[in-house]
């Protein structure tokens, strides 16, 4: 019981590969997040957005998975951003240093615009 409560799905918007993460991000999220990343990577995504929704619970094991994704993104020369995080988890991301490596946007709209702006620079 108390199984993992994360739904992960992938879509494309204006050339940004969006990975929607709805629910809890804990150690049980590892396979789902890594395989979603592998899929968008295989499709040749350059800009990747982790779009969080209804995340009442993200813990250090979940953050470790995201750091793993940052490693891959750096290796593959992609751009990574996150959106939809609550104020609390934005703070947690800053505490662990993730904010230095990932652009944090309030919502998906803002993130997609942000990607477009950096692409034209």
Partner 1 sequence: MCAVTESSHKLSTIELSVPSELGYEKVVRDTIAAFARRLGFDNERIDDLKTAIGEACINAIEHGNGGVPDQRISVSCICEDERLTVEVRDRGVKPYDGHAAVPSIEQKLQGIAPLRGMGLMLIAQLVDEADFTNHPAGGNLFRLSLYRRRDAAHP
Partner 2 sequence: MPVAHGQVNKSMTLSNSDAETPDRIVELRLPSRLGYEKVAMDAAASLARRMGFNGDRVEALRTALAEAVTNAIEHGNERDSAMKVLVVLIVRPDELVVSVADQGLKPLDHDQTTHIPNIEETLHKSDKGGWGIWLIRELMDEVEFSTAPSGGNQVRMVIHLEQ
Footprint on this chain of partner 2 (rule: CB under 8 A): 1-5, 27-28, 61
Partner touching 70 among partner 1, partner 2, none, CB below 5 to 8 Å by kind: partner 1
Among 100, 117, 120, 121, binds partner 1 (CB under 8 A): 100
Rule CB under 8 A: say whether 117 interacts with partner 1: no
The helix, strand and coil proportions of the chain, stated in percent and rounded to the nearest 5, come to 45, 25, 25
- What are the residues whose beta carbons fall under 8 Å from the beta carbon of 85, sequence distance 6 or more? 52, 55, 93, 104
Exposure letters 39-61 (e unless 16+ CB within 10 A, then b): ebbeeebebbbbbbeebeebeee
Rule CB under 8 A: say whether 106 interacts with partner 1: no
Query: Which residues ranging from 3 to 42 are in contact with partner 1 (CB under 8 A)?
Result: 3, 24, 26-28
Name the residues that contact partner 1, by CB under 8 A: 1-3, 24, 26-28, 57, 59-61, 63-65, 67-68, 70-71, 74, 86-88, 92, 95-98, 100-101
């Amino acid at each position: 019981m108390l199984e993992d409560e994360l739904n992960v799905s992938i879509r494309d918007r204006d050339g940004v590969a969006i990975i929607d993460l709805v629910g809890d991000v804990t150690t049980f999220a590892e396979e789902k997040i890594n395989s979603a990343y592998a899929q968008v990577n295989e499709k040749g995504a350059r800009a990747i957005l982790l779009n969080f929704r209804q995340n009442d619970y993200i813990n250090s094991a979940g953050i470790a998975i995201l750091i793993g994704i940052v490693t891959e993104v750096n290796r593959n020369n992609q751009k990574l951003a996150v959106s939809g995080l609550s104020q609390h988890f934005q703070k947690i991301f800053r505490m662990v240093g993730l904010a230095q490596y990932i652009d944090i946007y309030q919502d998906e709209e803002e993130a997609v615009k942000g990607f477009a702006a950096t692409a034209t620079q």
